[in-house]
Amino acid sequence: QSVLTQPPSASGTPGQRVTISCSGSSSNIGKNYVFWYRQFPGTAPKLLIYKNNQRPSGVPDRFSGSKSGTSASLAISGLRSEDEADYYCAAWDESLSGHPYVLFGGGTKLTVL
Amino acid sequence: QVQLQESGPGLLKPSETLSLTCTVSGGSTRSYYWSWIRQPPGKGLEWIGYSDYSGNTKYNPSLRSRVTISVDTSKNQFSLRLSSVTGADTAIYYCSGEPIFGVVVDYWGRGTLVTVSS
């Protein structure tokens, strides 16, 4: 089965800019949109970025997404302590003909030092 | 504001069938894609599948042979059935919805822990 690879952890200090990568393949990121979710401990995930770089209403512009080829990135600028959470990328995968499915990355735990 | 609430047994024995229901309030089940996602304790997210109100479904290929997602518009609920469970199915199960048309937004239940143990 296909995989989306994220670093298990990332960190930064308040005010810094941090990026989280998500590496996939031609069957997922290479041909489909990337989504990013944020999950605080003990709570459900929430959509942060859709269609590679679009923010749902209410998501501050400190959060931005990008995609190039078979990789994507989430950038957080002006890091705040409340950004400490787990971040997941996701994309539709079409490696199995006629049976597309949503693939999640393994998640990145962001620590604000 | 759409609100979702999962319900169902929290403890199952191996080989039993997991059945969860997600009750939708504040919105119509006809207007959304309804998904189930699970998360083993301390681990990452796994997409199980989705359905719309007309029965258009897509499932994770690793679970397809055991999973059914269905929508009951009369009760404004949707459900998950996962057969022949094992310990590997122990997880927090989340229901989620996103509008078929219009503003991009997602709604999630709080999640319910299902433990499979003999």
> Among all residues of chain A, which has the CA nearest to that of B64?
A99
Q: Do B58 and A100 touch (CB under 8 A)?
A: yes
The string of pLDDT tens digits covering residues B68-96 is: 999 999 999 999 999 999 999 999 999 99
Residues of B with CB under 8 A from a CB of A: 35, 37, 44-47, 49, 58-62, 64, 94, 96, 98, 103-106, 108-111
The string of pLDDT tens digits covering residues A11-23 is: 999 999 999 999 9
Residue A29: count of CB within 10 angstroms of its CB: 28
Q: Please check the confidence at residue A69 and state whether its pLDDT lies above 90.
A: yes
Mean of pLDDT over chain B:
95
pLDDT confidence of residue B29: 87
pLDDT confidence of residue A41: 96
Mean of pLDDT over chain A:
97
Q: Give me the residue label for tokens 């989705």.
A: B50
Which of B44, B47, B106 lies nearest to residue A102, judging by beta carbons? B47
* % pLDDT > 90, chain A: 94
Instruction: Report strand pairing: B18-25 vs B112-116.
Output: unpaired
CB within 8 A of A25, min separation 6: which ones?
A2, A70, A95
